[in-house]
Amino acid sequence: MDRPERRTVGRAVPDDDTERHDRPVAEQADRTEQRAPHETSEARDYRAAFHVSRLAMALLDREGTVLDANDALGALLGTGTGALADQAAADLLDLASDTRTWHAYREALDSLRARFRCTRRLKHPDGRTLWAEVTVAPVPDTDRVLLSVTDISDRRELQARLRHLQQHDPVTRLPNRTLFFERLAAALESSAPGDGPFEGGGGTYGSRTYATGAAAYGTGIAYGVASAAASSSAAAASYSARGHDRASGPGRTPGRGPGRGNGRVDGRTGRIGLCYLDLDGFKAVNDTLGHRTGDRLLAAVAGRLTECADHGGYTRSGGHLVARLGGDEFAILVEDSTGTEQLADLARSVLAALQRPFDLAGQRLSVSASIGVVERAVEGTTPTGLMQAADTTLYWAKADGKARWTLFDPERNAHRMTRQALTSALRPAVEREEFVLQYQPLVGMADGIVRGVEALVRWNHPQFGTLSPNRFIGIAEEDGSIVQLGGWVLRTACRQARRWQLDHPGAQPLFVSVNVAVRQVWDSDLVGDVAGILAETGLSPHLLQLELTESAVMGSAGRPLQALQALSDMGVRIAIDDFGTGYSNLAYLSRLPVSVLKLDGSFVRGFRYDEGVHPSPADETIVEALIQLAHRLGLTVTAECVETSGQAARLQRIGCDTGQGWLFSRPVAPERIAEMIAAVSPNGV
Ligand code: C2E
Ligand code: MG
Ligand code: MG
The pLDDT of residue 190 is 76
Q: Which of 374-388, 542-556, 664-678 has the lowest mean pLDDT?
A: 542-556
Predicted confidence at residue 37, as pLDDT, reads 62
Would the pTM count as exceeding 0.95?
no
Residues β-bridged to residue 175: 168
Long-range contacts of 300-303 (CB under 8 A, 24+ apart): 300/358, 300/360, 301/172, 301/330, 301/354, 301/358, 301/367, 301/369, 302/172, 302/173, 302/174, 302/330
What is the reported pLDDT for 680?
A: 81
Closest protein CA for atom 7 of ligand 1: 641
Residue 63 confidence class, pLDDT cut points 50, 70, 90: very high
Listed residues: CB within 5 A of ion ligand 2 = 515, 547, 577
Going from the Cα of 674 to the center of ligand 3, the distance in angstroms, rounded, reads 23
The rounded mean pLDDT for the chain is 81
- In 504-644, alpha helices (H): 518-523, 526-537, 550-553, 558-570, 586-591, 601-605, 617-632
3-state secondary structure 296-349: HHHHHHHHHHHHHHHHCCCECCECCEEEEEECCEEEEEEECCCCHHHHHHHHHH
Of 5-19, 462-476, 670-684, the range with the lowest mean pLDDT is 5-19
pLDDT at 199: 28
Q: Is the CB of 600 under 6 A from ligand 1?
A: no
436 close to ligand 1 (CB < 6 Angstrom)? no
Q: What is the pLDDT of residues 280-309, one digit of tens each?
A: 989 888 888 889 999 999 999 999 999 999
Instruction: Tell me the CA–centroid distance for residue 662 and ligand 3, in Å.
Output: 13
CB of 549 within 6 A of ligand 1: the answer is no
Other beta carbons less than 10 A from residue 279's beta carbon: 21
pLDDT digits (tens, 9 = 90+) for 180-200: 999 999 999 976 444 333 222
User: Tell me: the pLDDT tens digits for 342-369?
Assistant: 999 999 999 999 999 999 888 888 889 9
> Can you give the pLDDT at residue 310?
86
If one compares 134 and 1, the residue with the highest pLDDT of the two is: 134
Q: Is the CB of 563 under 6 A from ligand 1?
A: no
The finding on whether 81 has its CB within 6 A of some atom of ligand 1 is no
| Cβ–ligand 1 contact at 552 (below 6 Å) | no
pLDDT of residue 191: 61
Nearest CA to ligand 1 atom 19: 641
Percent of the chain exceeding pLDDT 90 equals 56
Ligand 1 close to Cβ of residue 486 (< 6 A): yes
Q: Is the CB of 667 under 6 A from ligand 1?
A: yes
Whether 473 is in the pocket of ligand 1, judged by its Cβ within 6 Å, is: yes
Give dist(CA 267, CA 313) in Å, integer: 12
Which residue from 456, 603, 662 has its CB within 8 A of the most atoms of ligand 1, so it is best to mutate?
456
CB burial of residue 466 (10 Å; 0-12, 13-18, 19+) = middle
Nearest atom, ligand 1, residue 547 CA:
2
- 213 Cβ closer than 6 Å to some ligand 1 atom: no
pLDDT higher than threshold 50 for residue 111: yes
Least confident interval from 303-307, 320-324, 678-682: 678-682
Q: How far is the CA of 365 from the centre of ligand 2 (A)?
A: 51
- Bridging pattern class, strands 368-377 and 405-407: parallel
Closest atom of ligand 1 to CA, residue 457: 38
CA pair distance 241, 30, nearest whole angstrom: 108
Least confident of 24-28, 111-115, 472-476, 574-578: 24-28
Distance 615 CA to ligand 3 centre (A): 22
Minimum CA distance residue for ligand 1 atom 3: 578
Q: Whose CA is nearest to atom 11 of ligand 1?
A: 667
Residue 423's pLDDT band, with cuts at 50, 70 and 90, is confident
Question: Which residue's CA lies nearest to atom 10 of ligand 1?
Answer: 667
Amino acid 584: pLDDT: 64
